[in-house]
């Protein structure tokens, strides 16, 4: 095995320690930024849906502000956002470099996209279901958790998968602030030193990650369409 790797990807073998560090940096950025963006994006998506005109807690001021903030951050290309946020990142986490310095920009880059996706997913829940739940005496929290999130789960899984995959893409750019990760490894050790095997392997790794994420997402989404995740049988 070791001999085989050495023969097909000699430079990768030489820099294998760096490669594993890069993988773990990417993974760290992915789950930390992803986790935070998931929570914030979900909240923003919910706020957009319930405060819009005709929503269950219509509030056009909050809606317009949220909408504007999301639109502004969505229109900034991530690589520019990364630089633009350096002063803020420094203030919030104390440093603007390394993995630590990349988390905040990654969150800013992901949340607007994810919020929109959540908004679309939740808007797919028919008004009739909301009305029926209201007629049964559900308040705002009941409507959000027992109807919106519950009914939109397959769509939420789908949009979360799409966002997760685009987040992987963003992490590769975080190398620009010295966060490391597979992206900067491929550039620094692959492209710049003319080691094509390193670039190829990085592509393969990213492909595999994307494929796995998409498969998990598709499977879960399909499994939860018109079904609950765990079903109790009544006898």
Interface contacts to other proteins, rule CB under 8 A: 126, 128-129, 131-140, 146-147, 150-151, 153-154, 224-228, 231-234
Nearer to other proteins, 26 or 51 (CB): 51
- Are 33 and 106 contacting, i.e. CB atoms less than 8 angstroms apart? yes
Cβ-based nearer residue to other proteins, 3 or 234 = 234
Min. distance of Cβ 159 from other proteins in angstroms? 16
Residue 157 CB, nearest approach to other proteins (Å): 12
Nearer to other proteins, 149 or 209 (CB): 149
Query: What does the chain come to in residues?
Result: 235
**Rounded to the nearest whole angstrom, what is the least distance from the CB of residue 138 to other proteins in the complex?**
7
Nearest to 163 by CA among 207, 213, 92: 213
In order of 48, 66, 67, 128, 133, the CA distances from 62 in angstroms are 8, 6, 8, 25, 24
Nearer to other proteins, 4 or 141 (CB): 141
Contact, 163 vs 113, CB < 8 A? yes
Torsion of CA 45, 49, 50, 56, to 10 degrees: -150
Report the nearest approach of other proteins to the CB of residue 226 (Å).
5
Q: Provide, rounded to whole angstroms, the least separation between the CB of residue 59 and other proteins.
A: 14
Q: Closest CB to other proteins among 2 and 234?
A: 234
How far apart are the C-alpha atoms of 62 and 43, rounded to whole Å? Answer: 13
For residue 144, give the nearest of 133, 128, 155 by alpha carbon: 133
């Amino acid at each position: 095995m070791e001999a085989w790797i050495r023969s097909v990807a000699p430079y990768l073998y030489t820099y294998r320690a760096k490669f594993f560090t890069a993988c773990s940096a990417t993974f760290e950025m992915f789950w930390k930024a992803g986790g935070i963006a998931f929570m914030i994006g979900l909240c923003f998506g919910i706020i957009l849906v319930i405060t819009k005109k005709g929503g269950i807690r219509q509030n056009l001021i909050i809606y317009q502000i949220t909408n504007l903030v999301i639109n502004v951050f969505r229109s900034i290309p991530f690589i520019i956002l990364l630089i633009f946020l350096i002063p803020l990142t420094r203030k919030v986490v104390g440093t603007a470099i390394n993995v630590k310095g990349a988390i905040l920009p990654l969150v800013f880059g992901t949340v607007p996209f994810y919020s929109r996706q959540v908004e679309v997913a939740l808007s797919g829940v028919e008004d009739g279901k909301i009305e029926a739940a209201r007629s049964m005496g559900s308040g705002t929290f009941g409507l959000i958790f027992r109807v919106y999130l519950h009914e939109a789960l397959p769509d939420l899984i789908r949009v979360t998968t799409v966002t997760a995959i685009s987040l992987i893409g963003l992490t590769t750019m975080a190398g620009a602030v010295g966060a490391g990760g597979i992206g900067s490894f491929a550039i620094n050790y692959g492209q710049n030193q003319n080691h094509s095997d390193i670039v190829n392997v990085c592509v393969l790794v990213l492909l595999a990650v994307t494929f796995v994420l998409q498969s998990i997402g598709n499977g879960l989404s399909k499994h939860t369409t018109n079904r609950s995740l765990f079903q109790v049988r009544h006898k």
